[in-house]
Amino acid sequence: MIDLSPITTVEALERFRELPPAYRRELAGLWRGSGLPTGHPLDGVLENLGWFGKRFHPNLRADALLFQFGPNRLVALDPAYIPLGLTLRLGSIGRTRLARHCFRFLQRPLRACGPTATLEMQDFEGIRSAAMVYDRQPITDRFRRMGDDQLFGMMSAHRDPRPYFFILTRQE
């Protein structure tokens, strides 16, 4: 069972640093995501909007934002259409019922036409590990292994010093 109790950003970063690297070729498949509350503006926003997680393809491409619309329907959205700066400034609005309702109507225009990110190996503080680089947003998700079927993720957005932390659990 994953502990998703609120922690500080410093504690989350310490946890991330302690974990072993993840390797990109091991990530292929469907992963369910859960945000780790640290006081980040995105805490609870993705879950409120129906975020499912991520899908990594064997060719090292990825569906960066995978949302669940209905009980059995997963839709990959293109992060390029999401105003990152505004989203980070107005995070509290994204946790409302109104935001959830409006987001359902935006599903079709935000739909991705294919994978929207690439898996790479990158160094972070001296450890080389899998990272997902978004194609058309200044975002990198770095991963560390929590076990065979769990990853600890840290999203970094260019020009925003606050990392967003999340857990991914393999579904396939």
**DSSP, residue by residue, 111-137:** B-SS--EEEEEEEETTEEEEEEEESSS
- Dump pLDDT digits (tens) for 52-65: 999 999 999 999 99
pLDDT for position 108: 85
Residue 35 lies in a domain: yes
**Structural contact between residues 130 and 27, judged by C-beta atoms closer than 8 angstroms:** yes
- 72 vs 65 pLDDT, higher one: 65
Expressed as residue numbers, the domain containing 64 is: 9-170
CA geometry: angle 78, 76, 144, nearest 5 deg: 90
Residue 4 lies in a domain: no
Q: Is the pLDDT of residue 126 over 70?
A: yes
Please, how many CA atoms are within 13 Å of residue 71, restricted to the half-sphere of its CB? 0
Which CATH number do you get for residue 80?
A: 2.40.128.580
Residue 70 lies in a domain: yes
Q: Is the pLDDT of residue 77 over 70?
A: yes
Other residues' Cβ atoms within 10 Å of the Cβ of residue 21? 14
How far is the C-alpha of 18 from the C-alpha of 96, rounded, in Å?
35
pLDDT for position 1: 55
pLDDT for position 2: 67
**Structural contact between residues 60 and 130, judged by C-beta atoms closer than 8 angstroms:** no
Structural domain count of the chain: 1
Residue 143 lies in a domain: yes
How far is the C-alpha of 105 from the C-alpha of 107, rounded, in Å?
6
CA geometry: angle 121, 127, 129, nearest 5 deg: 30
- Please give the structure tokens belonging to residue 110: 């935000």
